[in-house]
Amino acid sequence: MTKFKVLLFLLLAFFQAKAEDGYDLWLRYKPVDNVSLKAEYVQALKAYSAATDKSPTIQVAVDELSIAIKGLLGVELKSADQVGEQTLVLGTSASSPYIASLKLQKSLDPLGDEGYMITTKKGNVIIAANTDIGVLYGTFHFLRLLQTQQSIKKLNITSTPNVKLRVLNHWDNLDRTVERGYAGFSLWDWHRLPGYIDPRYIDYARANASIGINGTVLTNVNANALVLTPAYLEKVKVLANVFRPYGLKVYLTARFSAPIEIGGLKTADPLNTEVQQWWKDKADEIYNMIPDFGGFLVKANSEGQPGPQNYGRTHADGANMMAAALKPHGGVVMWRAFVYSNEEPDDRAKQAYNDFKPLDGKFDDNVLVQVKNGAIDFQPREPFHPLFGAMPKTPMMMEFQITQEYLGQGTHLAYLSPMYKECLDADTYAKGKGSTVAKVVDGSLNNHRLTGIAGVSNIGTERNWTGHLFGQSNWYAFGRLAWSHGLSSEEIAKEWIRMTFSNQEDVINPITNIMMASHEAVVSYMTPFGLHHIMGWGHHYGPGPWIANKHRADWTSVYYHKADKNGIGFDRTASGSNAVAQYFPEVASKFGSLEECPEKFLLWFHHVPWTYKMKSGKELWNAMCYEYQHGVEEVENMQQKWQSLENEIDAGRFEQVKSFLKIQKKEAEWWRDACLLYFQTFSGKPIPEDIPKASQTLEYYEGLTFPFAPGN
């Protein structure tokens, strides 16, 4: 067996290096194995027609088509001398005389700057849009049809994005470490820019364009002002040039104190005219180099970052100052609502609302307020943030986390689309029933045209981009939902699986099952019933419910779970912090009622006795024990399902996921054992006999340290 393992390892090494290693993401373009569909595709795609004088974006679309058709169908896609039948025509009415001749403009008008249509006309497939980038998006959609083996006989598709700014946030530092990054280090090789363009930048842009992401914030929200100096802007410019054909705009994080740190001023007071002029000059300098620069993302007065409150000014004063500098150039400010006051609040969950709600109506029209999905911090499960719906005059930009800071980091399989959807589909009741978070974010509830959604990236230097292969599905799902939040998580999963693994049902189904159950599994073995923020201190790796006595209470675990002899949970009803009152009445009364509150949020809003009878009939303590155990069992199920695919999936990707599932299983048990032993010191009740005994003592778990856990 040893020999065979060695042999296997060697081959695996080659296989990973040479064959499938995840680098190609969902753009693998492997041969279509369905014979009749392949024939249909080949028949329909004899040639293509695009403008002869191609813009860089149209050139990119044609290149992608050529590579894809060669891979999928094994044929060269030729340029048509003229449009006959079975020609793929792509372009705008302006660039393609043939498309102009089809007189589609009435149908094209509503598609705006980024939408597209894919339609069959006179035996030809037409990909048409009002802009080149619309054509590129349509091209990727068309290729997705082939990759997922859909018929292309009678196409009649139109698509427009729900949200205008669909942006990745990279928490990447200038030294290439990535805050909360678990996929290696930053893609941006700042030191060798501007002289060296890593080809990976192009594949990054391709991947984003393929799912409609149109912006990237290159730098960490915990910002370094140096990125705004000329030497770094030269580097940013090169990235912007590389990304431009793919419709991907570059944004930077702006450190509020930059005028002091790199500008030589004595203050960063937003009402100081020198400061205002400094930002205006800086914006002019940037746009002179990068005419389509997107704008600034700002974290101010939070976790030690400087901000307008340092000068007795409001967040609106700070945001508007930057907005005024960017406005002449068409740039925007994305101002984060994730704030921490210097004082310890009675309830951390209430702070963003308290700070921002009074400012509604005070922000300039090129400012978005960027709000995390929940009021604490990217927990495995949070109720939606009460700011959604609470600031009708202000564009509210959603901030999701794609990287898995609190969700198993680099090795846990957790498909996050259900988590995103749970938030987007939540009803704020801001304007009565049906006022979903999605309608707040897409601007339809309050008629905002400037809308946005951000995802904190899980991308790094690892060969497969996201460290865990299934991290790719979260990047993918984020992009797809940002474009079209009505898609279901299962639809998105199946698209991704078809493109990433196989179009065979016996592969699609088990992987869909794995993915759809995965997020709930993590919640169960980490933070069931609304528990939150009980991870290891600082790095957030592994369980740390015992974390206490840190320099601020709201960075400890005991602050959040409030376990005692009587029970567990944070009373956020009127008898406690009354955070529920930040929601609209219908929501507040539901969350505030012990009986009506969904059990998944129970301990988020209520301090509940250990003996409380759950809907299952079990007492809370026992229910919690079984829920932790259930999480572990769900990982075992995922392992079994994955194992069944051994002969269906290439060895390189199969083995890596298998290794990670094994780690996940071990860590799920660690979470279960550490949390139950710890909470047992309060409940004083036995852990049910049919739950496996912890392999170590509570003291052992409490003593574990991870000084080099990544992402910290």
Q: Which residues of 576-615 are buried (b: 16+ CB within 10 A; e: fewer)?
A: bbbbbbbbbeebbebbbeeeebebebbbbbbbbbbebebe
Of 64 and 422, nearer to a second copy (C-beta) is: 64
Q: Would you say 42 or 202 has its CB closer to a second copy?
A: 202
CA Rg value for the chain: 26
**Residue 272 binds a second copy (CB under 8 A):** no
Binding-site member from 149, 341, 411, 513 for a second copy (CB under 8 A): 411
Nearer to a second copy, 409 or 489 (CB): 409
Report the residue from 136, 183, 242, 426 that binds a second copy according to the rule CB under 8 A.
242
Stretch that binds a second copy, among 49-57, 111-119, 262-270, 324-332 (CB under 8 A): 49-57
Smallest Cα–Cα separation from 672: which of 617, 619, 635? 635
Residue 200 beta carbon to a second copy: minimum distance, rounded to whole angstroms: 7
CA-nearest of 662, 678, 341 to 535 is 678
- The interface region with a second copy, picked from 114-122, 125-133, 170-178, 677-685 by CB under 8 A, is 170-178
Long-range CB pairs of 490-496 (<8 Å, 24+ gap) are 490/516, 492/417, 493/415, 493/417, 494/148, 495/144, 495/148, 496/26, 496/472
* Interaction of residue 264 with a second copy, rule CB under 8 A: no
- Cβ neighbour number for residue 319 with a 10 Å cutoff: 28
Shortest CB 151 distance to a second copy, Å: 28
Question: Residue type at 486?
Answer: G
Q: What distances in angstroms separate CA 250 from CA 177, 197, 473, one per listed residue?
A: 20, 16, 23
122 forms part of the interface with a second copy (CB under 8 A): no
Quick check: 463 binds a second copy (CB under 8 A)?
Answer: yes
User: Left (φ > 0), alpha (ψ -120 to 50) or beta: where does 465 sit?
Assistant: left
Q: What are the distances in angstroms from CA 24 to CA 61, 463, 465?
A: 17, 9, 9
Sequence length of the chain is 712
Question: Least distance from C-beta 412 to a second copy, angstroms?
Answer: 12
274 is catalytic: no
- Phi then psi for residue 685, to 5 deg, are -105, 155
Contact region with a second copy (CB under 8 A), list: 53-61, 148-156, 325-333, 578-586 = 53-61
Given 37, 46, 59, 636, the residue binding a second copy (CB under 8 A) = 59
Residue 67 binds a second copy, judged by CB under 8 A: yes
Q: How far is the CB of 27 from a second copy (least distance, A)?
A: 10
Pick 487 or 663: Cβ nearer a second copy: 663
- According to CB under 8 A, which residues from 355 to 384 bind a second copy? none
**Considering beta carbons, is residue 165 or 228 the nearer one to a second copy?**
228
Query: What x/- string results for residues 670 through 699 when contact with a second copy is judged by CB under 8 A?
Result: ------------------------------
Q: Which is nearer to a second copy, 76 or 595 (CB)?
A: 76
| 303 part of the active site | yes
Q: How far is CA 166 from CA 220, 298, 450, 672, in A?
A: 17, 17, 11, 37
SS3 79: strand
Tell me, by CB under 8 A, how many residues bind a second copy: 64
- Yes or no: say if 581 and 351 are a contact pair by the CB < 8 Å rule: no
Dist CA 349 CA 354 (whole Å)? 10
- Beta partners for 280? none
From candidates 30, 54, 280, 641, binder to a second copy by CB under 8 A: 54
- Interface with a second copy includes 56 (CB under 8 A)? yes
Q: Is 596 a catalytic residue?
A: no
Which candidate, 379, 457, 472, places its Cα nearest to that of 422? 379
Residue among 18, 106, 154, 433 that touches a second copy (CB under 8 A)? 18
Nearer to a second copy, 430 or 635 (CB): 635
- Please tell me the distance from the alpha carbon of residue 392 to that of residue 601, in angstroms, as a whole number: 26
For position 574 contacting a second copy by CB under 8 A, the verdict is no
Does 656 interact with a second copy (rule: CB under 8 A)?
yes
The one among 85, 109, 175, 284 contacting a second copy by CB under 8 A: 175
Distance CA(144)–CA(135), nearest Å, equals 14
**β-pairing verdict for 608-609 and 567-568:** antiparallel
- Rounded to an integer, what distance in angstroms lies between the CA atom of residue 311 and that of residue 334? 20
Q: Which of residues 190-209 bind a second copy (CB under 8 A)?
A: 190-192, 195-197, 199-200, 202-203, 206
Residue 659 binding a second copy, by CB under 8 A: yes
Residue closer to a second copy (CB basis): 25 or 440: 25
**Is 16 one of the binding residues for a second copy (CB under 8 A)?**
yes
Selected catalytic residue, list 377, 599, 633, 650: 377
Q: Which residue type does 237 have?
A: K
Would you count residue 15 as binding a second copy (CB under 8 A)? yes
Asked if 245 interacts with a second copy (CB under 8 A), we say yes
Token pair, residue 289, equals: 């180099």
Exposed, middle or buried: residue 636 (CB in 10 Å: 0-12, 13-18, 19+)? middle
- In the set 64, 269, 405, 667, the catalytic residue is 405
Q: Is 30 in the site for a second copy (CB under 8 A)?
A: no
Please state, in angstroms and rounded to a whole number, the distance separating the CA atoms of residues 432 and 429: 4
For 124, the 3-state DSSP assignment is: strand
Under the criterion CB under 8 A, does residue 290 sit at the interface with a second copy?
no
Q: Are 264 and 221 in contact (CB under 8 A)?
A: no
Q: Minimum distance between the CB of residue 651 and a second copy, rounded to whole angstroms?
A: 6
The answer to whether residue 447 forms part of the interface with a second copy (CB under 8 A) is no
Is there binding between residue 145 and a second copy (CB under 8 A)?
no
Per-residue contact track with a second copy, 519 to 548, x per CB under 8 A?
------------------------------
What tokens were used for 191? Answer: 């030191």
Residues with a catalytic annotation lie at: 303, 377, 405
- What is the binding site for a second copy (CB under 8 A)? 2-4, 6-19, 23-24, 54-56, 59-60, 63-64, 67, 174-176, 184-185, 190-192, 195-197, 199-200, 202-203, 206, 226, 242, 245, 410-411, 461, 463, 650-652, 656, 659-660, 662-663, 666, 706-710
